[in-house]
Chain A
Amino acid sequence: MKYLDEFRNSEIAKNILNEIKKTVTRPWIIMEVCGGQTHSLVKNGILDMLPKEIAMVHGPGCPVCVTPLHLIDKAVYLAEKEGVIMCSFGDMLRVPGSRKSLLEAKAGGADVRILYSPLEAIRIAQQNPDREVVFFAVGFETTAPANALAVLHAKKLGLKNFSLLVSHVLVPPAIENVMEDVDSHIDAFLLAGHVCSIMGYWEYYPLAEKFKIPLIVTGFEPIDLLQGILMAVKQLEAGKYEVENQYTRAVTEEGNLPAQEIIFEVFEVTDQVWRGMELIPNSGYKIKDKYAEFDAVKKFKVDIQEAEENQKCLAGEIMKGIIKPYQCPAFGKECTPENPLGAPMVSSEGACAAYYHFSDMLRPEILDLNKIKSKS
Chain B
Amino acid sequence: MKNKKTEFPCPEPDFDFPVITLAHGSGGKLTNKLLDGGVFKRLKNDFLDLRHDGAILPLEGQTAFSTDSFVINPVFFPGGNIGELAVNGTVNDVAMCGGIPQYLSLSFIIEEGLPVKDFWKILCSIENAAREAGVYVVTGDTKVVDKGKGDKIFINTTGLGKIHPKADISPARIRPGDKIILSNHIAAHSIAILSIREGLTFETEIESDTTNLNHVIKDLLDKFGADIKFFRDPTRGGVATVLNETAGQTALGMEIVSENIPVLPQVKAACEMLGLDPLYSANEGVFIAIVKPGIADEMVHFLHQNPKTEKAVVLGEVTADHPGKVLMNTTLGGRRVVHMPVGEQLPRIC
Contact = CB atoms under 8 A, between A and B. Distances in A.
A94 B341 CA distance: 13
Contact of A194 (B268, B277, B325, B350): B350
Contacts of A63: 349-350
A1 interface: yes
- Report which residue of B268, B329, B339, B349 has the largest number of chain A beta carbons within 10 angstroms of its beta carbon: B349
A222 B332 CA distance: 8
Nearest to A192: B350
B198 interface: yes
B317 to A, nearest CB: 18
Interface string A244-263: 00000000000000000000
B346 interface: yes
Nearest to B342: A337
Contacts of A47: 334
Contact of B322 (A140, A348, A361): A361
B336 A43 contact: yes
A113 to B, nearest CB: 10
B349 A64 contact: yes
A361 B325 contact: yes
A336 B335 CA distance: 22
B160 to A, nearest CB: 35
Contact of A1 (B268, B325, B343): B268
A91 B332 contact: no
Interface stretch (A8-16, A76-84, A291-299): A8-16
Contacts of A120: 199
Interface in A166-218: 194
Contacts of B198: 116
Given A13-B332, A43-B336, A362-B335, A140 B268 contact: no
B330 A45 contact: yes
Nearest to A92: B349
A273 B289 CA distance: 51
A359 B336 contact: yes
B202 to A, nearest CB: 13
B19 interface: no
Contacts of A8: 331-332
A337 B344 CA distance: 12
A164 interface: no
B336 A48 contact: yes
A45 B333 CA distance: 8
A293 to B, nearest CB: 25
Nearest to B350: A142
A60 interface: no
Nearest to A361: B337
Interface string A6-34: 00101001100000000000000000001
A93 interface: yes
Interface string B198-237: 1110000000000000000000000000000000000000
B265 interface: yes
Interface residues of A, number: 48
A44 interface: yes
A110 to B, nearest CB: 16
Interface residues of B, number: 30
A116 B347 contact: yes
A89 interface: yes
B268 A45 contact: no
Nearest to B274: A116
A326 interface: no
Interface in B293-350: 322, 325, 328-337, 339, 342-343, 346-350
A362 B342 contact: no
A337 B340 CA distance: 10
A359 B337 CA distance: 7
A139 B349 CA distance: 7
B347 A90 contact: yes
A369 B246 CA distance: 35
B346 A44 contact: no
A143 interface: yes
Contacts of A348: 348
A42 B336 contact: yes
A143 B331 contact: no
Interface string B258-272: 000000010011001
B339 A94 contact: no
A91 B346 contact: yes
A10 B333 CA distance: 7
B335 A48 contact: yes
A140 B350 CA distance: 9
A264 interface: no
Contacts of B350: 34-36, 63, 139-140, 142-143, 194
Nearest to B259: A10
Contacts of B265: 1
Given A1-B265, A1-B272, A14 B346 contact: no
Contacts of A359: 336-337
A91 B347 contact: yes
A1 B275 CA distance: 16
Interface string B266-289: 001100101101000000000000
A358 B331 contact: no
Interface string A338-376: 100000000111000000111101100000000000000
Nearest to B266: A1
Nearest to A138: B349
A327 to B, nearest CB: 19
4 closest Cβ pairs, A-B complex: A45-B334, A90-B346, A90-B347, A357-B339
Given A91-B346, A114-B346, A337-B342, 19 more contacts: A42-B336, A43-B330, A44-B330, A44-B334, A45-B329, A45-B330, A45-B332, A46-B334, A63-B350, A91-B348, A92-B349, A94-B343, A94-B346, A103-B343, A116-B347, A138-B349, A142-B350, A338-B342, A362-B336
22 contacts: A4-B272, A8-B331, A8-B332, A14-B333, A36-B350, A42-B336, A43-B330, A44-B336, A45-B328, A45-B330, A48-B335, A64-B349, A89-B348, A114-B347, A116-B198, A116-B200, A142-B350, A347-B348, A349-B348, A358-B337, A359-B336, A361-B322
